[in-house]
Structure 1
Amino acid sequence: MTIRVVMAGATGWVGKALIPAIATQADMTLVGAVSRSAAGRDAGAVVGGPDNGVTVSASLVEALATASDVLVDYTRPDVVKDHALLAISRGRHVVIGTSGLGATDYAEIDAAARANRVGVLAAGNFSITATLMKRFALMAAKYVPDVEIIDYASAGKPDAPSGTARELAEALAEVRQASTVRPASEVSGVPATRGAAVGAGEGVQVHALRLPSYILSCEALFGLPDERLTIRHDAGSSAAPYVAGTLLAIRRVQQITGLVRGLDALLD
């Protein structure tokens, strides 16, 4: 059975790589694309390839007028939640690659997906190696209680922390032991320089760095007396690492009911 896909964020960094990738998959077909800046144009031509017969829509409402199975969203933090809820209400499964959503947002999306009996797969990073970084960090957190995260991104990234760092911090907060580090609330000087606690309970301290020349990197730093462990993922300058993971999510999301967070849930 062919999976009919709508791509929201068709002219974005990842969208431009996903549209030609979907065209090469025997079990997928692109039936819709969304980009206000490219509305009315052919989706294939917009991303620098041959025409594919799919006209780019200005809004998701327009794109969902065509029968489809899965919405893939790589748009912006301020629109992704509304996109997901709209697609869910129309009976579509959703793959969310856009970062910037919090626990409350995900809880609302999960409830809507369960009510409509569709699946949603959201990941802060669809790269296989970034997913392995998360898995290895979770393994380490079971043995080393003190961990903090440094989140690197370009100067113009609109959200902080990144989806990768936020998802990692929330997952680590669930499995780590009690920290031995002085709480940020007890620090004198400028406590905000200790970063922000992300996740349940005491959370995990996350420090978001935003500077020119950085693409995306995430470090989980673990400390014990007289020894340290750093687990780091660095992204390159292209969107290629995110394509394979997103294609896997498109194939698997229809087997889910409700929300699943993290590509690592699919690796096994």
Structure 2
Amino acid sequence: MIRITLAGCTGWVGKALVAAIMAAPDLELVAGVSRKAAGRDLGEAAGLPANGLPVFAGMTEALFVPSDVVIDYTKPDSVKGNVLAAVAAGRHVVVGASGMTAEDYAEIDAAAKAKSVGVLAAGNFSITATLLRRFAREAVKYVPDVEIIDYASPSKPDTPSGTGRELAETLGAERMAATSKPVSELGGVRETRGGAIGAPHPVQVHSLRMPGFVLSCEAVFGLPDERLVIRHDAGTSAAPYVGGTLLAARRVSDQTGLRRGLDSLMG
């Protein structure tokens, strides 16, 4: 039985995870973290029948409850601290929250290796979003010119989304140099070219925030006289993220250190 502490238990994905973990025969939910629901019953806080489990205001308090894996679906301003605290306490961690940089992940990787625990982080735990990343990695072997468009609702607090950032970092590490004129050589309003993410060949990422979108991400590839667009669109339900997150919780202890992307567990 894998004991799980769930941070962000009252969020959009968190509520769906509470129900799914409680229904899984090999998983045991032991505690939740939510500032706004601290002190309440975890089941009731997630809109379910009471289950007698505690909700804590912060990760430090929650880690006093013995667990094996921490799942974090919190906010950009708290996720890094939560992950480092969990790793320091010897817990494996699954990261579904967005907002961390490549430097943040490098720090987490070093901390996890020092404590001999595993961390699995994904910008998106849905299977189809994972396939977007896999197909884009295949395409970039042959088409170096690629840019990413990241869509989300106007209330999303970070740009780009975790999906867009992770995709850009991956493609930036694997593609050849683009043929487009470097942003540093452009005139006019350079910011209209988006933000450069990844290394050694950064990918331009453009983030749209407006009503009508939940989460969407597309990779646009270009060759002379032809284009390829690979796009993922999410609906209003959190269901697509649940299965991938639980798979990660079951497999995160297989290796020490950080792994990025659900595709690291696929096939």
Please give the range of the TM-score, normalised by the shorter of the 2 chains: over 0.9
1:102 alignment partner in structure 2: 101
2:22 alignment partner in structure 1: 23
Secondary structure of 2:9 counterpart: coil
Q: Is structure 2 residue 5 aligned with structure 1 residue 6?
A: yes
Q: Is structure 2 residue 79 aligned with structure 1 residue 80?
A: yes
Q: In the comparison of the two structures, how many residue pairs are matched?
A: 267
**Which amino acid in the other structure matches residue 54 of structure 1?**
L
Q: Is structure 2 residue 164 aligned with structure 1 residue 176?
A: no
Report how far residue 36 of structure 1 moved. Answer: 1.5
CA deviations 1:201-246 (Å, max 9, x no partner) are 2300000111122110001000111111000000001111100000
1:154 alignment partner in structure 2: 153
Secondary structure of 2:30 counterpart: strand
- Aligned equivalents of 2:63, 2:213: Cα separation in 1: 36
TM-score, normalized by length of structure 2?
Answer: 0.98
CA deviations 1:33-64 (Å, max 9, x no partner) are 01111111111111121122212111211111
1:33 alignment partner in structure 2: 32
Secondary structure of 2:36 counterpart: helix
1:121 alignment partner in structure 2: 120
Identity among equivalent positions (%) equals 65
Q: Is structure 2 residue 61 aligned with structure 1 residue 62?
A: yes
Alignment of 1:212-227 (within 5 A): 212-227=211-226
2:91 alignment partner in structure 1: 92
Instruction: Point out 4+ residue stretches in structure 1 off by more than 6 angstroms.
Output: none
- Aligned equivalents of 1:238, 1:153: Cα separation in 2: 14
Secondary structure of 1:139 counterpart: helix
1:42 alignment partner in structure 2: 41
2:221–2:227 Cα contact (<8 Å) kept: yes
2:111 alignment partner in structure 1: 112
- Aligned equivalents of 1:191, 1:58: Cα separation in 2: 42
CA deviations 1:46-94 (Å, max 9, x no partner) are 1121122212111211111111000000001111111011111111000
2:266 alignment partner in structure 1: 267
Single out whichever of 54-63 and 86-95 deviates more from structure 2: 54-63
2:176–2:201 Cα contact (<8 Å) kept: no
- Aligned equivalents of 1:171, 1:19: Cα separation in 2: 31
- Aligned equivalents of 1:260, 1:201: Cα separation in 2: 20
**Structure 2 residues not aligned, in runs of 5+:** none
Secondary structure of 2:166 counterpart: helix
Single out whichever of 181-190 and 241-250 deviates more from structure 2: 181-190
CA deviations 1:174-218 (Å, max 9, x no partner) are 111221111111111111101111000230000011112211000
Secondary structure of 1:23 counterpart: helix
- Aligned equivalents of 1:100, 1:59: Cα separation in 2: 18
TM-score, normalized by length of structure 1?
Answer: 0.98
- Aligned equivalents of 1:188, 1:170: Cα separation in 2: 26
- Aligned equivalents of 2:123, 2:254: Cα separation in 1: 20
